[in-house]
Structure 1
Amino acid sequence: MKYVTVQSFIDDYRNEAIGTQKLLDALTDESLGREIAPGYRTLGFLAWHLVTSSALLLATGLKFDVESEENQPTSAAAIAQKYRGMVETVLDAVRTQLTDEKLHDEIDIFGDKWTIGYTLGALIGHEIHHRGQMTVLMRQAGLPVAGVYGPSKEEWAAMGAPAPK
């Protein structure tokens, strides 16, 4: 997705962040070490990666503080809180440092030319991708999974309805 207005990114990112925050808030300290198979990324790594991946936006010229991959907390609650703060930091930086016109500017990322508007969309797509990975690991860890684009199995049950098959 390529954004052409700052406000459309802000609206989408705020909505996507709500879904991500629900998942992060459901993590437990014990679940952070869960991996799909030995040697693969853990649930804790993926959760922290969502906090630190906002660093991608530094290539756009935005100025804000980012967390280091190396400073991953051992507490699920701390990761969830850091994500909450990072979202507000990104939204503030975008709101105050970008204009609709600037979203068309090209920058170099990964050896390619991307517009800033495309880069904003890539951040959201990246988050959605890892959020999906997290839900699989959360199920394997026995954690409840919050619905993001509709009710989860647990949420259907709470409404007294069977989950669609």
Structure 2
Amino acid sequence: MILQQLKGEFEQEVNSTRKLLQAVPEKDIDYKPSDISWTMGELAQHIATIYYWYVGTLTEDIYDMAADHVKRGEPNDIKATLALFESNVEKARAALNALTEQKLLDNWTMKVGEKVVLGPMPRGIVSRGFLFNHIYHHRGELIVYLRATGNKVPGMYGPTYEETVPVST
């Protein structure tokens, strides 16, 4: 039951994430709101990369980030980031489709080398927090970047302000 809901949410939110990443303009790819922030391109690439983490999170009991290497390409190339996103979504979808209700209850741990950084905790909780909610958090940041640079934000849960206000001529 929970697994079917996760799969449905995944598919709906993949479409929203795709729309948001497609809204990132090349002209503002290097924008960052502060010295300690990522650029818009780095943030978009991070969002695309989270989908890669679904595989290790959903298929391994102990996921070692230090042993896992994803090829990301250049963060200032939004077309490469979109391709990374699509590739990672396919991998994430396959991992999600192979998951069972029982596996959601199994403990999962994230390590970086020998250091435990998350867990152990049930995979279902990790799926919500580390995967789904993590993406939503960074999508919110990306929306702020788009608005701060005067770009349109696509509607993900209905029309956005920009889509409802008549354009002056």
Aligned position for 2:59: 61
Aligned position for 1:147: 155
Count of residue correspondences: 152
The alpha carbon displacement at 1:100 in A equals: 1.1
Which deviations, in whole Å up to 9, do the C-alpha atoms of 1:73-124 show, x marking residues without a partner? 432122123212211220112202x111111001123242221111211211
1:4-83 superposed matches below 5 A:
5-57=2-54, 58-62=56-60, 67-68=70-71, 71-83=73-85
Which residue type is aligned with residue 76 of structure 1? I
1:52-131 superposed matches below 5 A:
52-57=49-54, 58-62=56-60, 67-68=70-71, 71-96=73-98, 98-109=99-110, 110-122=117-129, 123-131=131-139
- CA-atom RMSD in angstroms: 2.2
Q: Using structure 1 for the length normalisation, give the TM-score.
A: 0.81
Q: Is the 8 A contact 1:54 1:66 kept in 2?
A: no
Identity over aligned pairs, percent: 27
1:74–1:103 distance in 2 versus 1, CA, 3 Å: same
1:66–1:153 distance in 2 versus 1, CA, 3 Å: farther
Aligned position for 1:163: none
Q: Using structure 2 for the length normalisation, give the TM-score.
A: 0.79
Which ranges in structure 2 are unaligned for 5 or more consecutive residues? 61-67, 111-116
Secondary structure class of the residue paired with 1:33:
coil
1:134 to 135, 142, 146: 142
Q: Is the 8 A contact 1:19 1:148 kept in 2?
A: yes
1:66–1:154 distance in 2 versus 1, CA, 3 Å: farther
Structure 2 CA distance for aligned equivalents of residues 102 and 33 of structure 1: 40
Which ranges in structure 1 are unaligned for 5 or more consecutive residues? 161-165
1:77–1:38 distance in 2 versus 1, CA, 3 Å: same
Q: Is the 8 A contact 2:109 2:118 kept in 1?
A: yes
The alpha carbon displacement at 1:60 in A equals: 4.0
Which residue type is aligned with residue 71 of structure 2? S
Which deviations, in whole Å up to 9, do the C-alpha atoms of 1:17-70 show, x marking residues without a partner? 1111111111122221110112321111110001212344314435xx97335x
Structure 1 CA distance for aligned equivalents of residues 92 and 78 of structure 2: 21
